[in-house]
Amino acid sequence: RNAERCHILPGITSNKPRKTSTVEIQTGKFSITSLPVHLAVSPAAERLRYILGDDEETMPTPTLFTEMDTLQHEGDELEWRESARWVKFEEKVEEGGERWSKPHVSTLSLHSLFELRTCLQTGTVLLDLEGYSLPQIVDDIIERQIEEGLIGPELRDKISFVLLRKHRHQTKKPIHRSFADLGKSGSGGSECSIFKTVPVSPSIPTHIVHNSRSMNDIAESPSTDQLKNKFMKKIPRDAEASNVLVGEVDFLEKPFVAFVRLSQAATLGGLTEVPVPTRFLFVLLGPLGKAKSYNEIGRAIATLMVDDLFSDVAYKARDREDLIAGIDEFLDEVIVLPPGEWDPKIRIEPPKKIPSADNRKSVFSLNELGQMNGTAGGRGPVSEDEVMPAPHELGEELAYTGRFCGGLVLDIKRKLPWYPSDFYEGFHIQSISAVLFIYLGCITNAITFGGLLGDATDNYQGVMESFLGTALAGTVFCLFSGQPLIILSSTGPILIFEKLLYEFSKNNGIDYMELRLWIGMHSCVQCIFLVATDASYIIKYMTRFTEEGFSSLISFIFISDAIKKMVGAFKYYPINIDFKPDYVTAYKCECLAPDPSKFILGWTTPALNVTALDWTQLSKKECVKYGGSLVGKSCKYVPDLALMSFILFFGTYTMTVTLKKFKFSRYFPTKLRKLISDFSIFMSIMTFVGLDMLIGLQTPKLIVPTDFKPTRAGRGWFVMPFGKNPWWVYVASSVPALLVTILIFMDQQISAVIVNRKENKLKKGCGYHLDLLWVGVLMVACSFMGLPWYVAATVISIAHIDSLKMESESSAPGEQPQFLGVREQRLTGILVFVLTGVSIFLFIPMPVLYGVFLYMGVASLGGIQFWDRIKLIMMPAKHQPDFSYLRHVPLRRVHLFTLVQIVCLAVLWILKSTFLAIIFPVMV
């Protein structure tokens, strides 16, 4: 009784060690013995090892779509009605029959698995049957049963009649449809009706079997409804079907069981809901009174058929015993839910991330002799990188060749075959959203750093130079670099270096632009030397500890800068905190005329008689211009602008975050949700730009120079290398150039490592040497034109990758879309920088762009383990997520590791905030 009530979760691997004692389970006619795996392999596992262990060169088995049909009585007619289906998870036809249930994890009774095992032991098993039509397959099954003495010849016609009844599938859409379904064409057909279980025993009178109707009532070819079924989108193209037929009849005294595997998958007419060729067929007909038991056995075999391991066994089984071994191994992996502690009516939601079956399959490889469910000590194999940061694996991209320019040559050979696809693969609607998002980030960066450079260098470099340099360097880099997903930008340490260099030049009477040109040339030569000697291979010693510290620092800089700029708006437009509504009449601002006795002789002109002016009617600018003074409590306050700026800033950020998560919402069809998510940044910006225009307040706007000329009057677009500085400056400039080279090397390569990390599933390879070469060459070009220097921008590059992530389009019902990789191409980067170069007449409020900055910083923290561990410090143990490293590392050790990382991050933050920022890369 307990076995019947007990339910199990199929296909979930236990991480606990198996006991050394031998456990024997007995029920009915069979017993299962579980041997101690870490001492010896069980007979079932040994058998599966030889079935699955030699398949390294064979093609992977197709995905199985499983459909279960139950025998129903409709008046005097019999028919098979679809009751459930599986791709990965189970979907049932609800009792009302008008809809499918939500996909859920199949929960099976333990007893049904034992009975299934008995059915396969005692029934007919036909492997690699040559079958092309259902009548022929049914005849072969019945013939084999008669030969084996399982049924008498007199039952041939009755069984054949039952098995060849027509199949009614659940394809019709309900009359009342939700708004989300509007726009979807229905695939309903006349073959579908409301599913009702009629409790009438399916008796088969002789006159029905021998009447004028054909014994074969099933359609020989797929119907129009099957061909138009939208559910095909959820099934992979190479999928095959397994059909489960269960029912009770009154002419059998013992169950009629058959398991069939066809040698070639065949489309068996109207047998399956979708036009997918059938490979497997399981038939169970039994005496009256056990319909529920038959149904549970059918669900058990259907669940087994979609289990990754058992489906491999089913495809490669050589005999009945191989199938039995597959069931034994399945039983060995299941987890039992006690009946008194769990309600079997509850449908378990599919997990967000489905565990891979590779770990279960690997133990059966002939080359693997490891433990089945973890080691004897109770711990499964855990990679070092999973527990604590480990050095990067040394791939061919970072291999030390020992040859002159060896790494560079390999980078070019690696990237050249992909060059055409780097352009045509960019033509996708997702690329448009990525371009809009990254473009706004780049122009915000260009404006910000351009303004700061103008202040630091007395306008030798300003906003115009920043825009032009960003466009030039970025476009060339995206065209020819090894990793075009990297976005170039100015960085904080380079800004500090420029400021110190300008002050040094000014104090020592040296021409700043010429000195900067020679530093750029020396740095380029040093970068080329590093490329030629394969120096980038030292990046393999960069652990995740360093990566996380670096990327966290850059993310925090973005967040803090956005907040600081927003706080600056409150300083520029202060709010009157002493405002009292009752004294509103006292809030005014008047222009008072200056004292006539203080007028300077000759100040007045015939055109302007100061004494005749109506000072109360002058504007604020005119009042100050003519020497008047502003008096009143409201002169300094513009509260509307500060509040409006905050609304634009925080509104843009929150709306972007909300819309970005919209693809996981329950509303609207999948494609529309994904479209909203992809264009979340653009929609948020347009919304709040529109709000700003509607309100009409004079909020600070993005100021883009419209005249194409250098910011500083008197300097040209090209810097001459000789004539303004002593000869020794040209040689001595190699010393500060060494600092710049270290800065660029570390900044560029660490950002490249973060972009190229294996979690992003990049398939076209990377080019560390090629990237560094182009950064060095662009330094010289920018130095000659007096433009800022550019290097990989970590946060914007991560945002670029996030905006180009691809997910599987056809996912099984209940299955989360799988991350497939990144849309690797050069088009988005090129378009971003071309648009940056032609950016004029922009009227975007600056608070909106600060909101984009804040979103970039927060979003880039999402995939950093360091940030997850910081949050763990504030969580009680019972509320902590189930991270893999928490299973294997003591919590106090994790906190200590995090604390060390926080201290290092604080040191870097302090460094970058002072004049010592130029040694920032050395500290990294």
Query: Around Cβ 680, how many Cβ atoms within 10 Å?
Result: 23
* pLDDT, greater one: 272 or 396: 272
Least confident of 34-43, 418-427, 722-731: 34-43
**In angstroms, rounded to a whole number, what is the distance separating the alpha carbons of residues 147 and 779?**
85
Three state DSSP letters for 56-72: CCCCCCCCEEEEEEEEE
The string of DSSP letters for 150-186 reads: SS-GGGHHHHHHHHTS-EE-S-PPPSS--GGGTTSPP
How is domain 62-170+229-339 classified at the CATH fold level?
Mannitol-specific EII; Chain A (3.40.930)
Phi, psi torsion values for 848, nearest 5 degrees: -65, -45
Give the pLDDT score at 395: 59
Give the pLDDT score at 117: 92
* pLDDT, greater one: 44 or 377: 44
Give the pLDDT score at 243: 93
Give the pLDDT score at 787: 86
For residues 326-333, average pLDDT: 88
Residue 540 near residue 752 (C-beta atoms within 8 A):
no
For residues 147-155, average pLDDT: 89
Give the pLDDT score at 374: 36
The yes-or-no verdict on residue 499 having pLDDT over 80 is no
The yes-or-no verdict on residue 283 having pLDDT over 90 is yes
* pLDDT, greater one: 806 or 6: 806
For residues 334-349, average pLDDT: 81
Length of the chain: 924
The yes-or-no verdict on residue 201 having pLDDT over 80 is no
Give the pLDDT score at 305: 92
**In angstroms, rounded to a whole number, what is the distance separating the alpha carbons of residues 675 and 815?**
19
Give the pLDDT score at 377: 36
Band of residue 840 on the pLDDT scale cut at 50, 70, 90:
low
Mean pLDDT taken over the chain: 76
* pLDDT, greater one: 278 or 922: 278
Band of residue 302 on the pLDDT scale cut at 50, 70, 90:
very high
The yes-or-no verdict on residue 40 having pLDDT over 90 is no
Which residues have a Cβ under 8 Å from the Cβ of 518 and sit 6 or more positions away?
A: 721, 729, 730, 733, 737
Least confident of 36-50, 137-151, 162-176: 36-50
Give the pLDDT score at 371: 36
Least confident of 206-220, 261-275, 295-309, 344-358: 206-220
Residue 590 near residue 628 (C-beta atoms within 8 A):
no
Q: In what order do the strands lie in the sheet with 7-9?
A: 108-109, 7-9, 335-337
**In angstroms, rounded to a whole number, what is the distance separating the alpha carbons of residues 518 and 721?**
7
Give the pLDDT score at 190: 34
Give the pLDDT score at 57: 53
**In angstroms, rounded to a whole number, what is the distance separating the alpha carbons of residues 882 and 874?**
15
Give the pLDDT score at 385: 40
Considering all CA atoms of the chain, what is the largest pairwise distance in Å, rounded to the nearest integer?
Answer: 132
Band of residue 598 on the pLDDT scale cut at 50, 70, 90:
low
**In angstroms, rounded to a whole number, what is the distance separating the alpha carbons of residues 327 and 320?**
11
pLDDT per residue as tens digits for the range 451-471: 767 777 777 877 788 888 888
Q: What is the DSSP letter of 104?
A: B
Give the pLDDT score at 36: 42
Which residues have a Cβ under 8 Å from the Cβ of 128 and sit 6 or more positions away?
A: 261, 262, 263
The yes-or-no verdict on residue 206 having pLDDT over 50 is no
pLDDT per residue as tens digits for the range 849-879: 788 778 877 887 877 888 888 888 888 877 8
Structural domain boundaries of the chain? 62-170+229-339, 406-571+648-863, 864-923
Residue 354 near residue 9 (C-beta atoms within 8 A):
no
For residues 224-235, average pLDDT: 75
Whether the predicted model's global pTM rises above the 0.75 cut: no
Least confident of 259-273, 414-428, 577-591, 605-619: 605-619
Give the pLDDT score at 639: 64
- Of the candidates 504, 493, 494, which has an alpha carbon nearest to the alpha carbon of residue 469? 494
Least confident of 71-85, 166-180, 304-318, 582-596: 166-180
Retrieve residue 228's tokens. Answer: 């138009």
Which residues have a Cβ under 8 Å from the Cβ of 711 and sit 6 or more positions away?
A: 454, 459, 460, 461, 462, 463, 464, 465, 705
* pLDDT, greater one: 704 or 90: 90
Least confident of 86-100, 670-684, 803-817: 803-817
For residues 709-713, average pLDDT: 72
Q: What is the DSSP letter of 340?
A: G
Question: What share of the chain in percent tops pLDDT 70?
Answer: 77
Band of residue 124 on the pLDDT scale cut at 50, 70, 90:
very high
Band of residue 361 on the pLDDT scale cut at 50, 70, 90:
low
Rank 273-287, 611-625, 646-660, 662-676 by mean pLDDT and report only the highest: 273-287
Give the pLDDT score at 909: 83
Band of residue 603 on the pLDDT scale cut at 50, 70, 90:
very low
Give the pLDDT score at 669: 75
H or E stretch at 821: strand 819-822
**In angstroms, rounded to a whole number, what is the distance separating the alpha carbons of residues 857 and 241?**
47
Secondary structure (3-state) at 672: helix
The yes-or-no verdict on residue 22 having pLDDT over 70 is no
